Amino acid sequence: MPYLSLGANVANYGGDSTRYGLDASLEYFGALLRGEYMVQDRDLVSIADKGWYGLAAYRLRPWLQVVGKQEDFRRSGISGDLPNRATTAGVNLDFPGGKVRLSADYVSRKIGTPGVRRGTVIAQAQVKF
């Protein structure tokens, strides 16, 4: 199935923790679904950090892609129950030749319970050499 990618990763980080995760991506006729689940175990903390994200995108035109993303990250062993949740909505504009992409995203993030929701606009230009 050439439209499906599966992955797994593991890394030793700084000698006192291990990170590992699973990810999957499905791309078919302009639609993209991608997700990842990750965990970080620390030697000095009994509760692991855990997080995930899910992303959906659709190519409306060859040069225009809309994107939505939901994510959740928790560092329960360090900061108690302070979930870090974010929702992203954005667009990607691809220029002819495939070397330049402009991205614009609105990210709405809430940290903690009940927490305060804050919004940020992120714009970037990507150039391939």
pTM value is 0.84
- pLDDT computed for residue 112 by the predictor: 84
Show the CA angle centred on residue 39, arms to residues 36 and 40, nearest 5°: 140
- The phi and psi torsions of 128 (rounded to 5 degrees) equal -95, 135
Please compute the mean of the pLDDT values over residues 21-31 and round it to a whole number.
97
Which domains does the chain carry? 4-127 (2.40.160)
Chain segment 76-121, per-residue pLDDT in tens = 777 766 889 999 999 999 999 999 999 999 999 998 888 889 999 9
Residue whose C-alpha is closest to residue 82's, from 106, 108, 51 = 51
| 75 vs 104: which has the higher pLDDT | 104
